[in-house]
Amino acid sequence: MRGCSLFEPPARCLKPLQLVLWLGRTIESSKGRSIMSIKTILTCLTDAQTADAVLRASALLARRHNAHVVGLHTIEALMVYPGIAMHVPDSVFAAYGQSQKEQSAALKAMFEKHVHAEDFVAEWRLVKSQSETAAERIVESAQCADLVVMPAVDPNAQSNAHARLLEAVIRDAGRPVLVVPKDFKADTLGQEILIGWNGTREAVRAAHDALTLLIEGDNAHIVRINDRSQEVDRHAASNDLAAAFARHNVKTTLVERSWERPGVAAALSKEAFERGADMIAVGAFGHSKAYDLVIGAATRELLQNMDFPVLFSR
């Protein structure tokens, strides 16, 4: 056994019986822990109106998983395009800079208020974009995170800037993005997850990303969505997925529903409410941008009418 750790022994150092006993101790000691725990949460703070909800959601997850929370605020440069034939006075740049400074200070204060009494590690990051957009800087920061948390779209907003930001991050970050409604005040998150399943690559990502948020004994409701326009039977795959979750000691239920578009998003929200779920997990943007723009997509439907925190994976 020389040179071998009791906790991480190489297989070559152990006889078969020793290996079985070590695995048994490892499994026993891991009971009640997260299955494939998230450890870095990137919390994107865009404005004071949505910050409380986003920070609350991040704190709930960080406590459960002992995760490191990064509070990120991105300042986008004031861009003046050469094609605009007008002079922008220096006072405009000064006023813009001052307003951004004040907003950053307010968001930092809210962040520190939420995390100062917590046991998990938290850090504040202020990122200034020069030539890049805010979305590009968020995507860059997200590449080293296990989970990105962002505020939902305000359905009453006059600008679609935040909707475009969300779409860009979900499409390009390569990480799961948890979008949180402005009025989120729940005391639990990620303990009872409803997973929308249709057998696509994006749905597979969503299911396994959701698994990283679950702890043994939590509940997963896999809702198999039968789109009547599809002829492929994915029944076997959804059964296999439920079995895979059950092997992680997650309490798993499998539900079959047939919905037509549009309306899948509303139906998922209704199903989540009826089952007492605290989160929905779905695959996002399974089509090209052109398809989504012309025909529409369930992803946009969910983003624009959100009653639950939704985990989007792509």
| Residue of 313, 311, 279, 309 lying closest to 193 (CA atoms) | 279
Task: Give the tens place of pLDDT for each residue, 154-191.
Answer: 888 878 889 999 999 999 999 999 999 999 999 999 99
Question: Is residue 193 within 8 Å of residue 163, measured between CB atoms?
Answer: no
Least confident of 14-23, 170-179, 189-198: 14-23
pLDDT the model gives residue 17: 56
Q: Measured between alpha carbons, how far is 206 from 314 in angstroms, rounded to an integer?
A: 7
CA–CA separation, 199 vs 222, rounded Å? 11
Which two structure tokens, joined as six digits, stand for 286?
């399974």
H or E element that contains 310: strand 310-313
* pLDDT confidence of residue 94: 62
pLDDT digits (tens, 9 = 90+) for 108-163: 999 999 999 999 999 999 998 776 788 899 999 999 999 999 999 988 887 888 99
Most confident of 98-112, 122-136, 295-309: 98-112
If you average pLDDT over residues 30-39, what whole number do you get? 66
Q: How confident is the model at residue 221 (pLDDT cuts 50, 70, 90)?
A: very high
Amino acid letter, residue 225: I
How confident is the model at residue 256, as a pLDDT? 86
**pTM confidence score:** 0.81
Token pair 């995390």: residue: 115
- List strands edge to edge, sheet with 177-180: 122-128, 68-75, 40-44, 147-151, 177-180, 310-313, 279-283, 192-197, 219-227, 251-259
Q: Could you give the C-alpha distances from 173 to 98, 137, 178, 255, in angstroms and in order?
A: 30, 10, 12, 30
Pairwise CA distance, residues 186 & 240, whole Å? 31
Ordered domains of the chain (ranges, CATH): 40-180 (3.40.50.620), 192-313 (3.40.50.620)
